[in-house]
Amino acid sequence: MSNFLETSLAELQTGLRNRDFSSRELTEFFLNRIDEKDGEIKAFLSLAPKKALKKAEEADKRFASGDENLPPLLGIPLAVKDVLAVEGLPATAGSKILEGFMPPYTSTAVSKLLDAGMIVLGKTNTDEFAMGSSTENSAYFTSRNPWDTSRVPGGSSGGSAASVASQMAPFALGTDTGGSVRQPAAFCGVTGLKPTYGRVSRYGLIAYGSSLDSVGVFGRSAADSAALFSVMAGKDPLDATSLDMPVPEINLNGSTNLKGMKIGVPKEYFVEGIQAAVEEKVREAIKQFESLGAEIIDVQLPHTQYAVPVYYLIAPAEASANLARFDGVRYGLRVENDDVIEMVKESRGAGFGEEVKRRIMLGTYALSSGYYDAYYGQAQKVRTLIQNDFLEVYKTVDMIAAPVAPTTAFKIGMHTDDPLAMYLEDVYTLPANLAGVPGLAFPVGFDQKNLPIGMQLMGRHFEEEKLFHAVHAYQNDTNWHTKSPKV
Residues annotated as part of the active site:
81, 156, 180
- Residue 403, CB half-sphere, CA atoms under 13 Å: how many? 29
295-299 and 399-403: which strand pairing? unpaired
Q: Rounded CA gap, 313 and 316, in Å?
A: 6
DSSP string, 242-274: -----------TTTT--TT-EEEEEGGGS-TTS
Angle in degrees, CA 154, 160, 163, rounded to 5: 105
Q: What SS3 state is found at 43?
A: coil
CA 20 to chain CA centroid, nearest Å? 32
Rg of the chain's alpha carbons, rounded to an integer?
21
Neighbours of 471 (CB within 10 A): 28
Please, are residues 393 and 457 in contact by the beta-carbon 8 Å criterion?
no
Q: How is residue 328 annotated by DSSP?
A: S
What residues have CB less than 8 Å from 303, skipping those under 6 apart? 382, 385, 386, 389
CB environment 204-234: b (16+ within 10 A), e (fewer): bbbbbbebbbbbbbbbbbbbbbbbbbbbbbb
Q: Rounded CA gap, 113 and 79, in Å?
A: 11
